[in-house]
Chains A and B, each alone.
Chain A
Amino acid sequence: MKKWMCYKAMRGHEPRSSSSCAACKLLKRKCIPTCIFAPYFRSDEPKKFAKVHKVFGASNVSKILTEVPEEQREDTVNSLAYEAEARLRDPVYGCIGAIALLQRKMIELQQDLAVARARLARYTTPAASSCAVLNDLCVGGSPAFSDLAACGDFFDSFSQNSLELNRVGDMYDFSQVPYM
């Protein structure tokens, strides 16, 4: 046994368990120096990879990471982790539930802003301050909304179901959205 361990040490092998990333630990395989997962799934964060693996699968994650430039892989991993977390919390709607919730909030805010604009208009004077505020209130169309135009029916029916939105509302931790 000792001879074998010396042999392994001479070959430069480190003890497997201390150098494996979270992915290789879960997949029960040797973590090679060029492991695509190792920079992003540290061994002290086993749950992160576990969630991503459960939803996407290791080979799909590997393919996605291989297809993006290296400098964007960390953001990719973080967004995949967020999506996986959302899908595990809400197996029906996943991230789409969060989007519908935020869309509804945005619509409510735009309505509140329209009311505020109407009230300010009653006080409209040639004064610059009022005009500046009125100009600021012209909230343009949301690019996020237009990107989802093709999915309009799905979001319309989901957003109108206030009971469903209330159900999913507590599930999402928006503070953990990857910074862009």
Chain B
Amino acid sequence: MSTSSRCAACRHLRRRCPSDCIFAPYFPANDPHRFACVHKIYGSSKVGNMLQDLPVELRAEAADAICIEAECRVQDPVYGCVRMISLLQQQIHNAESQLVKARAEIAVLGSHAQELRHHGQDI
């Protein structure tokens, strides 16, 4: 196989890219950064095994997810994508508190409005 048709993984690993390369469908040659991140965090054999253990139809999604996680970890070596989870949880907690507050306010205002209506009818 000519060097120009190697996938990004095999280029990075400086090896021949076989026709049944596990990485080739998910790490195209035009995006070397994608595999570089994955290789840095997981290593090629771990990623290869992860993909190998999955049904073919799920490998593309898995490769994308692994790439996102690796990219997050490269940018933030301490928390990786877990930072996102923590941030979202905090925001959800805040939003839920606000929603409870708003619904309580609606209930109070609603009952005031109802009282006013009844008072108006009595008159």
Contact = CB atoms under 8 A, between A and B. Distances in A.
Contacts, number: 150
B62 A95 contact: no
Interface residues of A, number: 57
Interface stretch (B1-9, B24-32, B90-98): B90-98
Given A116-B106, A147-B84, A105 B61 contact: no
Contacts of B21: none
A137 B98 contact: yes
B88 A144 contact: yes
A18 interface: no
Contacts of B96: 109
15 contacts: A56-B42, A64-B41, A67-B77, A79-B79, A92-B62, A92-B65, A95-B81, A96-B65, A105-B92, A106-B88, A106-B91, A113-B99, A116-B99, A129-B105, A179-B86
A57 B43 contact: yes
A92 B80 CA distance: 18
Given A154-B64, A178-B79, A120 B109 contact: yes
Contacts of B73: 64, 83
A114 to B, nearest CB: 10
A56 B82 CA distance: 15
* Interface range on chain B (Cβ under 8 Å from partner): 35 or more
Interface of A is mostly: helix
Interface string A88-128: 00011111111100110110011011001101100100000
A140 to B, nearest CB: 10
Nearest to A113: B99
B68 A154 contact: yes
B95 A109 contact: yes
A91 B50 contact: yes
Interface string B70-90: 000100011111111111110
Contacts of A151: 68
A83 B80 contact: yes
What are the 10 A-B residue pairs with the smallest beta carbon separation, nearest first?
Answer: A116-B102, A102-B88, A123-B109, A79-B82, A96-B65, A109-B95, A144-B87, A92-B62, A72-B78, A180-B86
